[in-house]
Amino acid sequence: MSKAANTYLNKTAAAWNGEAKDVISVNRRAADPAGNTKRRWVPFVAVCSITLLLCLTINFRAYTEMSREMQEHKNLSAEIDNLTDENLALQEEIHNLKSDSRSIEREARKMGLR
């Protein structure tokens, strides 16, 4: 008899004897000798986990960099406001020194000229 006929006859004979479950488990072991039939999802879960962790890492890094840049922007904006106020005060003082004689006398006294 051929190999196919022997396999078919073994399965049908086992089914008649109530041994079909044993034949199926033997066939599964023959198809996957390592017995990893239940662990086919492990690589998929590993790839998904690595992808998720990579996305989280990239997003966390971008968030921390953005937070640092926002803080630097806030600090620079405050410094610009202070320098603008100081610039306006100096411009007013220059205008007063050019046009007001009392301001000129006051500054001359501060310098010890009079």
| pLDDT at residue 14 in the model | 54
Whether 3 is covered by a domain: the verdict is yes
Contact 11, 23 (CB under 8 A): yes
Whether 105 is covered by a domain: the verdict is no
What is the count of structural domains for the chain? 1
Whether 88 is covered by a domain: the verdict is no
Whether 21 is covered by a domain: the verdict is yes
Q: Where are the alpha helices (DSSP H) in the chain?
A: 3-17, 20-31, 42-99, 101-111
| pLDDT at residue 23 in the model | 47
Distance of CA 91 to the CA centre of its chain: 48
Distance of CA 64 to the CA centre of its chain: 9
Per-residue pLDDT of the chain (114 residues; tens, 9 = 90+): 566 666 666 655 555 555 545 545 555 555 555 555 678 889 999 999 999 999 999 999 999 999 999 999 999 999 999 999 999 999 999 999 899 888 888 888 888 876
| Residue 85 C-beta-side C-alpha neighbours within 13 Å | 5
Q: What is the pTM of this model?
A: 0.49
Whether 28 is covered by a domain: the verdict is yes
Q: Which domain holds residue 32?
A: 1-38
CB atoms within 10 A of CB 107: 13
Name the residue among 2, 32, 21 with its Cα closest to residue 11. Answer: 21
| pLDDT at residue 1 in the model | 58
